[in-house]
């Protein structure tokens, strides 16, 4: 049960920090990539907290 919870929470983790460097190398728009990383991190934090509270065995 604990492993299932870890897998579910991990699937809602934010995009990686490397997306900023990857986007910068492709399009040169690192500011947009950094902004998307910040937004997804905040959203993921809220979603992961809610899931942890709602999943059985928490």
User: Residue 6 pLDDT more than 70?
Assistant: yes
The whole-angstrom separation of Cα 18 and Cα 31 is: 13
pTM, whole model, 2 decimals? Answer: 0.64
Say yes or no to pLDDT of 58 above 60: no
d(CA 3, CA 47) in angstroms, rounded, equals 18
Q: What is the DSSP string of 1-58?
A: -HHHHHHHHHHTPPPPTHHHHHHHHHTS-HHHHHHHHHHHHHHHHHHHHHHHHHSTT-
Q: Which residue has better confidence, 10 or 58?
A: 10
Provide the pLDDT for residue 15.
Answer: 66
CA distance 4 to 9: 9
pLDDT digits (tens, 9 = 90+) for 9-51: 888 777 666 677 777 777 777 787 778 888 888 888 898 889 8
């Amino acid at each position: 049960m604990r492993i299932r919870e870890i897998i579910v929470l991990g699937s809602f983790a934010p995009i990686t920090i490397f997306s900023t460097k990857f986007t910068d190398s492709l399009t040169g728009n690192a500011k947009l990539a950094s902004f998307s990383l910040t937004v997804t991190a905040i959203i993921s934090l809220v979603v992961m907290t809610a899931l942890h509270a709602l999943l059985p065995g928490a």
